[in-house]
């Protein structure tokens, strides 16, 4: 295997290919384990109180700072379905509150009895 092709003369090394492949796989698994791609879910209600809303927003900010994607969901039961627009407004308000640490990946979408929205952490460069 070539170690330093830019050197003059190029530097090569003899190695066990099976061992090399094993080490490469191990590195990939370790990198995959470290990459955070899980989703944290935070459930809200359309009747949520002001303080409860603030607590949920702080929890969302904590998750985003840790690098997780966050799924905001708002479920409706029975006759609550007529308040879907109110639920959408709550999710939009939550996404505005967390603009410093994250951004909305999707706009609030209604599917059956659930309004949901995905938030992703902001990448600092």
Give the pLDDT of residue 35. Answer: 61
Give the pLDDT of residue 59. Answer: 92
Q: Are residues 69 and 109 in the same domain?
A: yes
Q: Is 42 exposed, middle or buried (0-12, 13-18, 19+ CB in 10 A)?
A: middle
Q: Are residues 17 and 49 in the same domain?
A: no
Give the pLDDT of residue 32. Answer: 72
Give the pLDDT of residue 125. Answer: 44
Whole-structure pTM value? 0.63
How does pLDDT run along the chain (125 residues), one tens digit per residue? 777 778 888 888 888 888 888 988 998 888 776 665 688 888 988 888 889 999 999 999 998 888 888 898 988 888 878 878 888 888 888 888 888 888 888 877 778 888 888 888 887 64
Q: Are residues 30 and 69 in the same domain?
A: no
Which tokens is 37 given? 């791609």
Q: Are residues 26 and 55 in the same domain?
A: no
Q: Are residues 92 and 62 in the same domain?
A: yes
Q: Residue 64 and residue 14: Cα distance in Å, rounded?
A: 46
CATH code for the domain in which residue 93 is found? 3.30.110.10
Q: Are residues 22 and 55 in the same domain?
A: no
What 3-state class would DSSP assign to 85?
helix
Q: Residue 110 and residue 39: Cα distance in Å, rounded?
A: 19
Distance of CA 65 to the CA centre of its chain: 10
Number of domains in the chain: 2
Q: Are residues 8 and 43 in the same domain?
A: no
Query: 45 — alpha (psi -120 to 50), left (phi > 0) or beta?
Result: beta
Quote the domain boundaries for residue 21: 2-34
Q: Are residues 109 and 65 in the same domain?
A: yes
Q: Are residues 24 and 45 in the same domain?
A: no
């Amino acid at each position: 295997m070539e170690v330093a092709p830019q050197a003059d003369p190029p530097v090569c090394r003899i190695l066990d290919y099976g061992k090399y492949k094993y080490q490469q796989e191990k590195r990939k698994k370790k990198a995959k384990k470290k990459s955070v791609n899980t989703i944290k879910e935070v459930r809200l209600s359309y009747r949520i109180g002001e303080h409860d809303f603030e607590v949920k927003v702080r929890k969302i900010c904590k998750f985003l700072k840790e690098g997780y994607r966050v799924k905001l969901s708002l479920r409706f039961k029975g006759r609550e379905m007529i308040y879907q627009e109110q639920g959408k407004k709550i999710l939009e308000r939550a996404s505005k509150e967390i603009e410093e640490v994250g951004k909305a990946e999707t706009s609030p979408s209604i599917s059956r009895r659930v309004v949901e929205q995905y938030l992703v952490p902001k990448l600092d460069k």
